Structure 1
Amino acid sequence: MHYYRLIVFTIILFSVVTCYGEHVADSTERQHAELSKAALSNDMLQIYSSKLCMDNSMLTINHLHTVLYPKLGTLEYNIDGNVTLQEKVILKTVISVYGLAIISRQIDLCSLNQKGICPLRPGRIDIKGTYKIPQNVIEKIPKPIFVIPNLDLEVDFLLYNHGDTELLKELACVQVHVTNNKTVTNVYAFWITAALSISILLASIYALCWGYTLTNTYLLFTVYTLFAHIQGTAMLRMLTLPIISSMVQSWIINYQWSLGTIPSRYVQGVADWYVLATSTYPFNHMEAASFINPERYRLSSDETLNVKAEEIDTNKITLMASETMKYLGAHRYAFREDFISSNIFVTSIITLASLIVVTLIFLNAVIISINIMIKIPHNSKFNYIGFLGRNYTRIIKANLFRVLLILFPPIVLISVSEFNCKSSPALLVDAVVIFAIALLLLLYAVYRLFIQARKSKRTYGTVKYSLFVDDQFVAKYGLLFLQFKSSCYWWLLVQVVYGFAKPFSISMSLFNGKLGVTALFVTELIYSLCSYIFQPYISHRMNQVHFLVHGVTVLHLFFFFFLLTLSRHLKS
């Protein structure tokens, strides 16, 4: 059976399901009403958030919600903001698609002959209403704008003094994001990718218990390769970057399950209780959504996400106007996905621990079923039960080592992220302990592997005997190295180092976005080159697929990050 085809087919299936899925999820009654209108008109354009694109802007937007229904010919708008200007101004509008400015227009507001805008006066702006747009104006809007998923369309509004004809000094700058409510995020893709990956993991356990060594070896390779690809993709969303393409963000959401960051009321409740019990109040940032616009932020000089709170006074927390909440990396992800920043670590650990429990339950269920079948007449051919009986506890430990190696990258990522979070001291201790245990266990397994190989080399003149013939050693550690050639048993150490370096590079972006991205690219490039040079797997096709998957990841990082640098999406 050509197992390599299974890997390629699965990755292609992931891509197809992910890229062509559509899922629209809204929570408020107002948004549901808008979706009902959109269902009648099929198409819509919506502006739901704004951000300041300069410091000390004289125009700020507290709340912005505007929806255009082209087939109905209506524009609904609700704008709440503040102006500190008292002069005549020129408005410049810049429309950007995927980071590239395509249209730039300027207009003298006095030429509109509208009261209140010539000149502008300090005060509050509060505008609500519905506007009927002529059909000939709507027809000028390109049709693809209404159908492209995760439309990355932004409009910058810049104000200049009326006498500044060369537009040299900006008085205000506000940027709004335009969406058509179509996305590649798909709840079915989310669970299908999770089910397929976990099913392959369980299939490898089944093959191991029945003694299908070669099948188990190929499935081991498949599991490691798929999880490395999925986890590596999911981690990109936790990079500390000023802007990541909205389509890329939505695409990556389909893989977030691999990091354990699955929203669940029960898990969130447990995490809330734990944080409360350790003397830190779990503030859900989204609870403040009715008081502040969660998307109202500015890009400061250090490229962090800052949420300005004018004043929030509830029974739980009071934030004064001078306070700025900063969210970076994993905590920015927690803010945007309605997690509590201080317990994303707890949520992820609970989910990953649940996966370990599921694998152990499945392993024991298979072993019990084999014990039952062996007692059935005419089933005496199942002689492998003797190996299971002699090495039952070792096989349990082997599966724990395997799952730990698979889950090591997300453990590193969320643990290091927790080191930079001012939350409960107990959570910090938990992060240190869990990270240390995971790292020490894997290093211990690597140490035992090297000691066994050296002993075999010294006694028998080859590493093959003790590594691949010793039943007890194979039962306990075999799942970590059986997929490697005997001459490349040391590749396990490379996998552990790679599993640490990649998430650690992403964590580095908390302090310097460009440095973290560069370290991530270099790590992936070195690993791919080493896998091509040493060809560590037992099958030539395994090596080809392994290099292909990681080579694609390198190209992905190159085009995604370095081309974004050219379009000024990535700044130091």
Structure 2
Amino acid sequence: MRFSRLSPLAALASLASLVTAEPILQSKSLNTCQENSSFTASLFNVVFTPNNNTANVDIVAVSSVQGSVIFDVMISAYGYQIIRTTVNPCDAGLAGLCPMTAGKIPLNFNLPVGPDAIKQIPGIAYDFPDLDATVKVFINMTDGPEKGQSVACVQADISNGKTVDLIGVKWATAIVAGLALVSSAFISGLGHYNAASHVAANALSLFGFFQAQAMLGMTGIPLPPIVMSWTQDFQWSMGIIRIDFMQDVLTWYQRATGGTPSHLFDSLTNVSVQVEKRALDVAAMGLSLAKRSLAMMPRTITEPMAQVMKHDLLRRSNIQTGSGSFIVFGIQRVAFRAGIETTNLFMTGLAFFCVLVVFVSMCVAAFKGILELLVKQKRLQSDKFIDFRNGWFTVLKGILFRMTLIGFPQMTILCLWEFTQVDSPAEVVLAVFFLVGMIATLGWAAAKVIRIARRSIAMHRNPAYILFSDPQALNKWGFLYVQFRASAYYFILPTLGYLLVKAMFIAFAQRHGIVQAVGFMVVEAAALITASVLRPWMDKSTNSFNIAICAFNFLNSIFLLIFTEVFNQPPLVTGVVGVILWITNAIFALVLLIMLIVTTCLVFFRENPDGRYTYMADDRTSFMKSQTHLTTTTELEALGATARGDKAGGYKPGLDLDDDAESITSDSMRRQAERMGNTNAAAYGKPPGSPADPSMPLFPAEQRSPPRYNNGGNGSSEKFLGTSFQNQSANSYGGNQGPGPFRGNSPNPGRSASPSPWQRGAGYD
């Protein structure tokens, strides 16, 4: 993806080119297709234009064939043979091939194509994107002792210039995902935490789907052309973006730190690069295992240096053929299609991750300054973005943690892959630092969330109590758990493990496509089963959104296994499956984009964005600052401030969640009770620190069982708060007369038979 060469009209121009461009068929590489082939080509570039009935041929070939030959030509599309004919080079007037002589044969000429041959080419061949067509030529001897035998076989992949690898698609997906994340942060700053958490959860899931699409293209599995182009549309989500001056800087850095940059793009005029398309292509070339492991080496390296770097060559993924051309596959295939030297790929992804983190930090700091300036000039109400303005540094920490989570798949793949490449010693050090740092940071944050949730369960019988009542915990650690229901606070750990295992398969199994395909299928199947059974996300719609993504990821893993040709299916099946993958994933991605756009827009146009979403059954909204759905009463306001740990109804800074304090709200509840004149205020400073004294019955004595609540519906918080605490108010001001939720000091013998209302709806009943 080349952002440096884009303009606002780039997307329109890309789409228009599909219609207005002159029809052509072209090939840029020539592959050998039989062992001990006597004819090879290091440079092969053929362009056929049907409008002028000519084909321009530019070839640098090496031949060991001597004598008269005849060409047996076969043309196939998606594995189906459509044309087979023979060509006599003497009749066609091909100089240098009649008769064929041994040695280096440079050819550059225009070859006329007759009308009969043009009529045999179907019109769809000029228009269908990423055409999967191949021309295979057998060179057969017509005289001498090898008369009638095939002495060489070459094949060329044909393209029509149309592709689904479009700049417009890259920009559209990047802008929608980015604006959704920014919108969720803006909505959260306005105090609509419920709506913000839904938008953020869907945006992160969509971004994860884009990264999963990019991972398909990074596998070492041979992919059909249309699949390669489709997955290339999402490589921006992995930081694989080409900017010219950045590539120059990264090449200088690698050379300055003891590395040897590759110069594949500088030598394209002399050598051809073959993008691996089918699993049998490499085996058919008859290369030895040593040649398969040799890396692409700059042609300017001297022989002594080549001997010194022999051990370095064994670790590369590029395959250099005997003719001097190169084969790229897997991660290096992605780099080549993006216009990035393979030795610069790791640093490119790392650089964009660092730039994104710095840019976001500067934007947050600038937004804070702009808000304060507007409030000072009285152009903005002082109560707007009050939480962000008072605790903006904590919010920034949470945003940086979220950026780390978003960049985790990208950096784990690139860092692990760098260990197999060793582009330079300094880059390996950077890979170790970022990989260990990100795993340690996210692992420590996940462990922190689990500690907080367990403390909340031990003290209040509900993990949502502490996780959502404190602004600092929510702003700093909320990125790890807000998208899940409260009882699934731990689910971020399986998510990180899932991403790490996929990264290992991609980075370490580049030469083992079947291993990658089977590994992906097992991992995606486990993810789909886990998501379907546990349904850990916050509500039904979010669960459906993510389970659908898991289902498509599993389906794509099955497609990958088919692409390995482990089933020995006909080539036509492989080509059709590639088209199916593109169509199904394109439709699904479009649906997800539309859903996210509509959801985000509706949030901005509603007077109460929180009211659009069903309040979660874990009663998290009862503990958040945003409680517009509750009845506004003095008692409820006091309860909300007490539960959240607010001081005088405002923001409570300096909350320490790193120690083993009794409760994050114990002191504030005691002070609040003192302000309310409660004579039992001292009880708030003792364990368990819950606002509901466990020695008190929660329901009238004559009521044998608590009222039933609908955990999945609206108003669970309202029913609980509206019954028990209104009765509490009556008892507090009207004396301790009659049954009530906090009546008397004697324990209720039957209370243990029914779950606590703090526990109900949190996933425990």
Does the 8 Å contact 1:22/1:184 carry over to 2?
no
- Residue aligning to 2:372: 371
Residue 179 in structure 1 maps to residue 180 in structure 2: no
Q: 1:180–1:520: structure 2 CA closer, same or farther, 3 Å change rule?
A: same
Deviations for 1:372-425, whole angstroms, at most 9, x for unmatched residues? 44456596572651x335533221111111111111000111101101103211
| Shift in CA distance, 426/555, structure 1 to aligned 2, threshold 3 Å | same
2:160 paired with 1:203:
no
In the alignment, residue 333 of structure 1 is paired with which amino acid?
A: V
Letter of the 1:426 partner, please give it.
A
Secondary structure (helix, strand or coil) at the match of 2:58 reads strand
Query: Do structure 1's residue 266 and structure 2's residue 253 form an aligned pair?
Result: no
1:71 to 46, 51, 59: 51
AA aligned to 2:81 is: I
Deviation for aligned residue 1:63: 2.2
- Which structure 2 residues correspond to residues 21-420 of structure 1 after superposition, within 5 A? 22=15, 42-86=22-66, 89=69, 91-98=71-78, 100-103=79-82, 105=84, 107=86, 109=88, 120-160=100-140, 171-241=151-221, 243-295=222-274, 299-300=282-283, 312-313=299-300, 326-327=317-318, 329-375=330-376, 382=383, 385=386, 387-420=387-420
**For 1:111 and 1:423, how far apart are their aligned partners in 2?**
49
Tell me if structure 2 keeps the 8 A contact 1:23–1:186. no
The answer to whether the Cα contact below 8 Å between 2:96 and 2:105 also exists between their aligned partners in 1 is no
Match of 1:3 in 2: none
The alignment partner of 1:64 has SS state of strand
Quote the Cα distance in structure 1 between the aligned partners of 2:443 and 2:170. 33
Amino acid at match of 2:73: T
Structure 2 distance, partners of 1:75, 1:360, is 55
Distance 2:392 2:524 in 1: 37
User: Separation in 2 of the partners of 1:411 and 1:282?
Assistant: 21
* Distance apart, 1:209 and its partner CA: 2.1
Using the TM superposition, give the Cα deviation of residue 527 of structure 1 relative to its aligned residue in structure 2, in angstroms: 1.0
Q: Is the 8 A contact 2:177 2:203 kept in 1?
A: yes
Structure 1 residue aligned with 2:658 = none
Q: 1:406 to 1:23 in 2, by over 3 A?
A: farther
| Residues 169-228 of structure 1, C-alpha deviations (whole Å, 9 max, x = no match) | 753221111111122222222222222211112112212222220121012212211111
2:59 counterpart SS class: strand
Are residues 343 and 73 of structure 1, via their aligned partners in 2, closer, same or farther at CA, if it must alter by over 3 Å?
Answer: closer
C-alpha change, 1:442 and 1:430, in structure 2 (3 Å) is same
Letter in 2 for 1:350: A
> Alignment partner of 2:440: what SS?
helix
One-letter amino acid matched to 2:344: N
User: What is the one-letter code of the residue matched to 1:81?
Assistant: A
Change (3 A) 1:273 1:117: closer
How far is the alpha carbon of 1:477 from its aligned partner?
0.4
Give CA-to-partner distance per residue, 1:224-264, whole Å, 9 cap, x none. Answer: 111111111112222113x3211222222221111111111
What's the secondary structure of 1:43's corresponding residue? coil
Tell me which residue corresponds to 2:602. none
Q: Which moved more, 1:362-371 or 1:292-301?
A: 292-301
Structure 2 Cα separation of the partners of residues 460 and 169 of structure 1: 84
Distance 1:23 1:529 in 2: 43
Secondary structure of 1:248's partner? Answer: helix
Tell me how far apart the structure 1 counterparts of residues 368 and 193 of structure 2 sit (CA, whole Å).
Answer: 16
> How many Å apart are 1:470 and its aligned residue?
2.5
CA-CA distance at 1:340 after TM superposition: 2.5
Secondary structure at the counterpart of residue 268 of structure 2? helix
SS at match of 2:110: strand
In the alignment, the residues of structure 2 paired with residue 418 and residue 234 of structure 1 have an alpha-carbon distance, to the nearest angstrom, of: 18
Q: Distance in 1 between matches of 2:399 and 2:346?
A: 24
Bigger Cα Rg: 2
In the TM superposition, residue 459 of structure 1 has moved relative to its aligned partner by: 1.6
Amino acid at match of 2:51: K
- Tell me the percent identity: 23
Q: 1:464, CA displacement in angstroms? A: 1.8
What is the one-letter code of the residue matched to 1:292?
V
Residues in 2 aligned to 1:443 and 1:220: alpha-carbon distance in whole angstroms: 21
Q: In 1, are the aligned partners of 2:417 and 2:508 still within 8 Å (CA)?
A: no
Q: How much has 1:96 moved relative to structure 2?
A: 2.7
Distance 1:549 1:186, change over 3 A: same
Displacement of 1:317 after TM fit?
Answer: 11
Structure number with higher strand proportion: 1
Partners of 2:87 and 2:382 in 1: how far apart?
89
Report if aligned partners of 1:234, 1:255 keep a CA contact under 8 Å in 2. yes
Aligned with 2:421: secondary structure?
A: coil
Structure 2 portions without partners, runs of 5+: 1-9, 319-328, 576-765
Equivalent pair of 2:190/2:384 in contact (CA under 8 Å):
no
C-alpha separation in 2, matches of 1:110 and 1:67:
19
Distance 1:217 1:547 in 2: 18
Q: State yes or no: 1:518 paired with 2:501.
A: no
TM-score (norm 2): 0.64
Instruction: Decide whether the 8 Å contact of 2:127 with 2:162 is kept in 1.
Output: yes
Q: Amino acid of the residue matched to residue 258 of structure 1?
A: S
Give the letter aligned to residue 330 of structure 2: G
Q: Do the aligned partners of 1:313 and 1:319 also contact (CA within 8 Å) in 2?
A: no
CA shift digits 1:502-538 (9 cap, x unpaired): 2222223324111012212221221122111111112
Is the alpha carbon distance of 1:346 and 1:57 closer, same or farther for their aligned partners in structure 2, counting shifts above 3 Å?
same
In the superposition, the TM-score normalised over structure 1's length comes to 0.83
The alpha carbon displacement at 1:456 in A equals 1.3
Aligned-pair distance for 1:296?
8.9
Change (3 A) 1:396 1:465: same
Contact map agreement 2:30 2:156 (CA 8 A) in 1:
yes
CA contact (8 A) 2:232 2:334 kept: no
* 1:42, distance to aligned residue in structure 2 (A): 2.4
| C-alpha distance 71-290 of structure 1, shift in aligned 2 (>3 A) | closer
Distance of 1:359 and 1:54 partners within structure 2: 54
Letter in 2 for 1:210: L
- 1:437 Cα offset (Å): 0.4
**Paired residue secondary structure (1:282):** coil
Structure 1's 23 and 177: CA in aligned 2 closer, same or farther, altered over 3 A? farther
Correspondence 1:404-483 to 2 at 5 A: 404-483=404-483
Give the aligned partner of residue 14 of structure 1. Answer: none
Residue 547 and residue 168 in structure 1: after superposition, are their counterparts in 2 closer, same or farther (change >3 A)? farther
Could you tell me how far 1:366 is from its partner in structure 2? Answer: 3.1
Looking at structure 1, the residues matched to 460 and 150 of structure 2 have their Cα atoms a distance apart, in angstroms, of: 78
- Which structure 1 residue ranges, 5 or more long, are not aligned? 1-16, 26-37
Range with greater deviation from structure 2 (228-237 or 133-142): 133-142
Partner SS state of residue 184, structure 2: helix
CA contact (8 A) 1:299 1:305 kept: no
The residue that corresponds to 1:33 in the other structure is none
Determine the structure 1 residue equivalent to 2:685: none
Larger mean Cα displacement after TM superposition, 274-283 or 489-498: 274-283
Determine the C-alpha separation between the residues in 1 that align with 2:357 and 2:334.
25
Q: Which position in structure 2 is the counterpart of 1:497?
A: 497
Distance 2:390 2:92 in 1: 90
Shift of residue 341 of structure 1? 2.2
Query: CA–CA distance in 1 between the matches of 2:511 and 2:274?
Result: 22
Q: Which 10-residue stretch deviates more, 82-91 or 57-66?
A: 82-91
Q: Please state whether the residue corresponding to 2:42 is helix, strand or coil.
A: strand
